[in-house]
A and B are shown apart, each in its own frame.
Chain A
Amino acid sequence: MTTFSLDRIFSILAGFMDQYAVLPVLYHFHWMEWDDLAFNWCLVCVYGLFAVIATYAICWPLEHWRPIEHWPDQKAVLTDVFYTLLNRVGIIPVITFLLFYQVQTFCSGWLVDRGFIPPTLDTVVPFLFGHPFVTFWVYALILDFADYWRHRLSHSFRAWYALHALHHAQRQMSFWSDDRNHFFDDVISFLWFFTIGLLIGIPPLQFPLLILLLRFIESLSHANIRLNFGPLEWLIVSPRFHRLHHALRAAGRNSCNYAGVFSLWDVIFRTADFSPVYLPTGDARAPEALATGSYLQQQICGAKMFVKALFAPRKKKATV
């Protein structure tokens, strides 16, 4: 007997994609040894596709219902759509998955050969084992905490912010803008989370709907919507809260509201700004190509800014 929950439909779609699209390629090139993992790659792509569709279905009507800004043309938004598809459905999640798998395997093998079996969070904290729902939220909190500091540090170093400026340059910020990042900025994020993954174990993949919920909150927080969460804003990042982070006045090193999902990190570390305003977004110092250029133009411009910032002489602080 077959039942059809949403989660089950995802798996069936992933199985179909695996069997009729991915496995034929693997078999053609004699890469069958990856067939066990291929199903997981397909799941990642199916979840990503669903996330895009669900985000669009919810955020698009909201952006039309209560927009903060009206834009005469939305060419710049189209580039963000490309970023989103590339990052959530396309080849990047698979490459990330593969890369993480290979490097993690190498590191684990190195440790095991020296008599040490790497732990996971749910083996170090015995209470968590057998409580998958709690485990998921502990992982979510740890990863979001790590992301808070990654994000805050990306605003603290000149060269790093030169890469991150691509994310901030968007003046037409919409729910598509979440994945708008420089490739090298994504690489740094990958390495950052890879290190965390090694320390606490790779989070289980068995909570796709919850992972999608967290990704949805991140997309929603970028949306062009006049929306706040009231008192809940102290816990969860709202569009208004995150817009303050993207505000023109907050671009660069003196920003606020760095959290991705849980705003409580900004509260704890005193970087929260709950001002009840919806400010224009963008980075006034960023070149125009970074704001309205094509994907490639943005990437090249970001790389040039990074190199320039990396080798620029440090400015001396004025003494009074």
Chain B
Amino acid sequence: MITRRLALATPFALYATQACGAAAPPICMVMNSAGANISVIDMTTRQIIATEPALREPSHWALTPDRQTLYICDASGNAVFAFDPRTGAPKGRHRIADPYQLGYSPDQNYLVVNALRLNHVDVYDATTLSLVKRFHAGRMPSHLDFSPDSRWCFSSQQQSNTLFSFDMASMTPRWTVPVGHTPAGVLWLNGKLIVCIMGENGIAEIDPLDGHITRRQQTGPGAHNVFLDEKNRILYISNRGPGDTSLTALDPVTLEIRRRYAIPGGPDDIAIAPDGKIWIALRFAEQVAILDPVTGDYDTIDVGRSPHGIYLSTCLTQKGQVTAERLR
């Protein structure tokens, strides 16, 4: 824990290689929330090549629209850390109040930040990072997503058990609706919203026009976050409730369960590599699991305490807007 860099020579060599223009090896960055640091893993060798310090509690990430900077939130540190998204080299930090989860609007004009502890949803100018609007929408804003045309933003309010939507053009609230006990992950999918409801052990499909629930599907205890694979063929739900933790694969159209992977250790965020392997942060096990979705087998890599968000630099080779939950 105390050792900041596990292998001093390697990361410097790695950053130097990048500076000289040579291709950097693909990396995975894991945000260790209770360890106040970020593990940088060489995806090829699966070795930790650096451990970057944060202030208090790194959680989620967002890639800037120009793909030149990876922002990692540090909620109780009141900071957003900037990294080179190819090498993991630190590039400084910005003072932002309580950033827990964040995302760029698809039109790239705004950066929306959920301040979970302080109970606000903040809208920042994407270029200057100056505060444009603050919504006191509920208690414990958790995850967020946008409509593809950037008209609307949606934010789950964990403690209020609601989903909140606001209009991005007028910066005014649209609606707030109850969706079930402790909503978390939010994803725009096929003209609807998928919201993970931790206390309901599944997901709810919601009409973005008025917020009414159109369908529900049980996925597992503590359904927490939702991800779409890059070809929009599989919807993954991480379930990290008490006892039985898992990853559920669903059909994104019918929401029927295709497969359930028992993954002990509390799967939280996931990221999908080009080879189809799913990299999963395991909150209770201090590990990252690398799951082969075909065979169901997985390997693990030890990381820091309470791994939360997970980023793969391989997403940089993909077209479209990259977010933590999907390729848009």
Stretch in A34-42, A76-84, A280-288 touching the partner: A34-42
Q: Does A1 contact B245, Cβ atoms closer than 8 Å? A: no
Q: Which residues of A contact B95 (CB under 8 A)?
A: 117, 123
B36 and A206 contact, CB distance less than 8 A: yes
CA distance A43 to B283 in the complex (A): 13
Which of B147-155, B209-217, B227-235, B300-308 contacts its partner? Answer: B300-308
Inter-subunit contact B56/A109 (CB<8 Å): no
Among listed B17-25, B74-82, B187-195, B250-258, interface-contacting one: B74-82
Contact string against A for B residues 115-159, beta-carbon threshold 8 Å, 1 for contact and 0 otherwise: 101110000000000000010000110000000000000000011
Q: How many A-B residue pairs have CB under 8 A?
A: 129
Contact A30 B34 (CB under 8 A): no
Instruction: Name the interface size band of chain B.
Output: 35 or more
| Pick from B1, B98, B140, B243: contact of A206, CB under 8 Å | B1
A129 to B302, CA, bound (A): 24
Residue pair A15, B284 in contact (C-beta under 8 Å): yes
> Is B118 a contact partner of A112 (Cβ separation < 8 A)?
yes
Chain B residues closer than 8 Å to A206, beta-carbon distance:
1, 34-37, 305
Taking CB atoms and an 8 Å cut-off, the chain A residues in 1-44 that contact chain B are: 1-3, 7-8, 11-12, 14-16, 18-20, 23-24, 26-27, 30, 32-33, 35-36, 39-40, 43
**Which of B159, B241, B242 gathers the greatest number of chain A CB atoms within 10 Å?**
B242
B283, A39: Cβ atoms under 8 Å?
A: yes
Contact A12 B286 (CB under 8 A): yes
Q: Is A205 in contact with chain B by the CB < 8 A criterion?
A: yes
A24 to chain B, nearest CB (A): 4
Contact indicator A30/B181 (Cβ below 8 Å): yes
Q: How far is the CB of A200 from chain B (nearest CB, A)?
A: 13
Interface contact B2-A132, CB-CB below 8 Å: yes
B27 within 8 A of A: no
**In the complex, chain B residues whose CB is within 8 Å of the CB of A132:** 1-2, 4, 36, 53
Select from chain B the residue with minimum beta-carbon distance to A21: B242
In Å, the complex CA distance between A39 and B78 comes to 21
Determine if A207 and B78 form an interchain contact, defined as CB atoms under 8 angstroms apart.
no
Subset of 5 A-B contacts with CB under 8 Å: A20-B242, A43-B34, A112-B115, A136-B2, A202-B56
* 5 shortest interchain CB distances as A-B pairs: A15-B284, A23-B242, A32-B182, A33-B158, A24-B242
15 other contacts beyond A30-B181, A108-B98, A205-B36, with CB at 8 A cut-off?
A: A1-B301, A8-B302, A11-B34, A11-B306, A15-B266, A15-B286, A19-B284, A23-B243, A32-B199, A33-B159, A122-B55, A129-B53, A130-B53, A204-B55, A206-B34
